[in-house]
Amino acid sequence: MILRDVRVLDGTGERFEDASLRFDPGSGRVEAVGDADSRDDEPIYDLSGKTVVPGLVDAHVHFSLSGEASVADVVTTSDAELMLTEAKNARKTLESGVTGVRAMGARDLDVVLAEHVERGDVPGPRMAANCRSITITGGHGHHLGREVDGPTECRKAVREQVKRGAQFIKFMATGGVTTPGTDPNSPAFTDEEMDALVDEAHRRGVHVAAHAHGAEGVQAAVEAGVDTVEHGTFLDEATIDLLVAEDVVLVPTLSAPYHIVRNADHATDEALEKTNDVYERHLDSFAAAVEAGVEIVGGTDAGTPFNYHGANATELSFMVEYGMDPHDALVAMTGRAAEVIGLDETGVLEPGAFADFLVVEGDPLEDLGTLRDPETVVKGGEVVAGEAFGVGGVGELSE
């Protein structure tokens, strides 16, 4: 099938005007981008005025959470019920135009969901999935995580997670906003513990994401060798320099504090107090990181209070509002995100890649809002949400 006369942003930073995209609905793969001569009997759709972009890749989501004011209810939910919630949130995410995610883990459910999405049993984005986030006893996320103390337990916990199918390791380098009694500003683990976590994960061939708000915790995590830092709320100059020097990717999750602050009337007192304190600093940290050249990858923290699944594209607007170039932001939430989280052959529109893409009206780099409401969502060459191609749908079938 060929989409013709369309603008293509390929997820690597290339832009094609009046171009063609050929994909094979059978294999689910992209065959050509730029020019494509038609073959006999091949349907061709004219999409003039529209843009094709890769499906978004969100490097930080929580399918077990649905934007509740407090995670307290989720703690007592059975695995069976929580799995249905996960499946519902995965479907919403896919239908909004997100075709790849890194799922940050809840008990051992995400890896099971990932397997069933992969098989086509339930609709959802392609997933890099984790099991339980590793945290100190009583630390951030302990309700759904794996509590550890001491380097030996750290290694054991990493081995356990990998044994159960985790495709990466996440640990909580500082306290968090949504866990009562934990301090987002203080480092949680000792250096020895963090070294053990990262060393063991890399020995097992998986990457490491560190949840970290305070500068001291970010620095400790980076020095331990983590691959991505999540949130990075209080970054100072020395920490930013270290992120650049060590080539560590920052996943800023700007959506998370925004939604708590915007819903001040309904947020829990503790979450709000912590968030008010951090929101302005978070935006300043992000802007300074962009300015200094820290590599950014898009992630929303979807599922956290009032941060609903399916609104993921809003993160791009925040990234641009606080200092990123729109095309850089798009690459950060498509091609680069996929690469960093280890999702192969998606996030880019190149021959051989999965045909995971969105059709939007106009030019999304002029108006990022179009990405929040794509006309069509295609995953693996198949329309999974929005309008079909042709009569009554998107594009005109050409003779």
How far are the Cα atoms of 40, 75, 233, 290 from residue 240, in angstroms, in the given order? 55, 35, 11, 9
Q: What's phi and psi for 287, nearest 5 deg?
A: -60, -40
CB of 74 to Zn ion, least distance (A): 13
Residue 32's DSSP bridge partners are 22
Q: How far is the CB of 375 from Zn ion (least distance, A)?
A: 30
Q: Which residue is nearest to Zn ion (CB)?
A: 301
CB of residue 60 to Zn ion, shortest distance in Å: 6
Site residues (CB under 5 A) for Zn ion, limited to 136-155: none
Stretch of residues binding Zn ion (CB under 5 A), selected from 5-13, 189-197, 293-301, 362-370: 293-301
Q: How far is the CB of 27 from Zn ion (least distance, A)?
A: 35
The tokens for 217 are 């915790």
Start-to-end CA distance of the chain, whole Å, equals 13
Q: What angle do CA 292, 335, 323 make, to 5 degrees?
A: 30
Q: Which is nearer to Zn ion, 341 or 384 (CB)?
A: 341
Count of residues engaged in binding Zn ion, rule: CB under 5 A: 1
**H helix runs in 96-128, sequence order:** 109-119
Q: Which of 390, 324, 394 is nearest to 50 (CA)?
A: 394
Nearer CB in complex with Zn ion: 301/339: 301
3-class DSSP state for residue 118?
A: helix
If the CB atoms of residues 230 and 375 are measured against Zn ion, the closer one turns out to be: 230
User: What's the one-letter identity of residue 362?
Assistant: G
Site for Zn ion in 296-355 (CB under 5 A): 301
* Alpha-carbon gap, residue 204 to 123, rounded angstroms: 29
Integer CA distances (angstroms), 14 to 33, 68, 153, 281, 330, in order = 11, 39, 46, 33, 11
Choices 28-36, 127-135, 202-210, 295-303; region in contact with Zn ion by CB under 5 A: 295-303
**Residue 141 or 187: which CB sits closer to Zn ion?**
141
Q: Choose the binding region for Zn ion from 64-72, 136-144, 294-302, 308-316 (rule: CB under 5 A).
A: 294-302
CB of 170 to Zn ion, least distance (A): 8
Q: Which is nearer to Zn ion, 193 or 301 (CB)?
A: 301
**Separation of alpha carbons 238 and 170, rounded Å:** 24
Task: Classify residue 351 by its DSSP letter.
Answer: T
Output the smallest distance, CB 62 to Zn ion, in A.
6
Q: How far is the CB of 337 from Zn ion (least distance, A)?
A: 15
Closer residue to Zn ion in complex, CB, 300/370: 300
d(CA 69, CA 80): 22
Q: Of 58 and 356, which has the nearer Cβ to Zn ion? A: 58
283 to each of 10, 52, 92, 166, 321, how far by Cα in Å?
A: 28, 30, 28, 31, 10
CB of 1 to Zn ion, least distance (A): 38
d(CA 75, CA 143): 6
Q: By CB under 5 A, tell whether 110 contacts Zn ion.
A: no
Which residue's CB is nearer to Zn ion, number 130 or number 376?
130
User: Residues of 179-214 as b/e, b for ≥16 C-beta within 10 angstroms?
Assistant: beebbbbebbbeeebbbbbbbbbbeeebbbbbbbbb
Minimum Å gap between C-beta 163 and Zn ion is 23
Of residues 301 and 375, the one with the C-beta less far from Zn ion = 301
**Residues interacting with Zn ion, by CB under 5 A?**
301
